[in-house]
Amino acid sequence: MAAAETPLTGVAWAAAPEAAPAGWRAITVTVEGAAANLGKGFGHKSGGYLCVSTGGGQAAAGPVVTDVVVLSDRSPQPPGYTRAPEFPEPRTGLSRKKRLYVKLTPVDAAETAVVDVQLSAKSKALPQYMKIGEMGNFAIWCKKGPVLKRSPPPLPKPRSISAGLRQLSLHSSDADQKWPLPPFTNWGGGFGAALSMFLKRLPFPFPAMDGVPFTLHPKFESKLSSSSNAILADLNVKSLADIEKEYNYAFVVERTAAARLPPGVC
């Protein structure tokens, strides 16, 4: 597949090939190989040359030439068209029977544009070219082609986070922070109060142990089948003093962990 041709960004006149500024190319020969000097009828003593611009050879970012017409000097200037510029400068007071007009359109709004301009003898026919008029001893032809739109830069695809990666997050969710603390205060005595106070001072939430399997000790299974009174009869009720004496624990390890102290301190 052939590469798309670059649309022209300008069509102008030059008094001489060297008068065309940078970025412009003067058409110095016709398709037959003859000199493409338009002669004294152009208004200059040395004649004139048709020149075109392609925006430096890169994809056009500004307006592109979508049409070129040759009209009589008595014809009004068509809407949306401008006179072709002249290099080095336009000359006033010259009588010209023909004038060249160019239509420029923003590249984003153009569907087709002029991609080439050629000169030939009046009797010559150029395939794939459209004759836009005659000037001097030459026929002026232009070739049009589709305008390729500039594609926007590709955007990075959004990265999805799997359920497994979400579980590795270091930030606790709202659901985790709303987990209730186990009711240690119902254990009675100083042990339950101290443990509950310790858990409240922890820098992280202490969740309930949901889903942990629970199995009753075998010595209580037979008693459950009879009545609950049998179990209550074997219960040994202890006083607060007995519980504090039996579970005399200073919580040194827990306090050390909560304070983030090295183990050697305790």
Q: What is the pLDDT of residues 184-211, one digit of tens each?
A: 445 455 555 666 666 566 555 545 555 5
Which of 166 and 145 is assigned the larger pLDDT? 145
> For residues 131 and 141, is the Cβ–Cβ distance under 8 A?
yes
Between CA 39 and CA 137 the distance in angstroms is: 9
The confidence band for 170, taking pLDDT boundaries of 50, 70 and 90, is low
For residues 143-167, give the mean pLDDT.
Answer: 72
Give the domain ranges of the chain. 8-146
10-14 and 86-87: which strand pairing?
A: parallel
In tens, the pLDDT along 208-229 reads: 555 566 666 676 666 555 555 5
Whole-number Å distance between alpha carbons of 138 and 118: 10
The pLDDT of residue 210: 56
Cα–chain-centroid distance for residue 157? 10
Class of domain 8-146: mainly beta
Question: If you average pLDDT over every residue of the chain, what do you get?
Answer: 74
Note the pLDDT of residue 66.
Answer: 95
204-219: buried (b, 16+ CB within 10 Å) or exposed (e) per residue?
eeeeeeeeeeeeeeee
Residue-wise pLDDT for 27-51, tens only, equals 999 999 999 987 654 444 546 889 9
Of the candidates 68, 98, 72, the one whose C-alpha atom is nearest the C-alpha of residue 82 is 68
pLDDT cut 70: percent of the chain above it: 58
Burial of 88 (0-12, 13-18, 19+ CB in 10 A): exposed
Q: CA-to-CA distance for 87 and 43, rounded, in angstroms?
A: 12
SS in 3 state form for 153-200?
A: CCCCCCCCCCHHHHHCCCCCCHHHHCCCCCCHHHHCHHHHHHHHHHHH
The encoded tokens of residue 41 equal 């009828």
Nearest Cα residue to 126 out of 27, 33, 31: 31
Distance CA(196)–CA(159), nearest Å, equals 43
Per-residue confidence band for 1, with pLDDT thresholds at 50, 70 and 90: very low
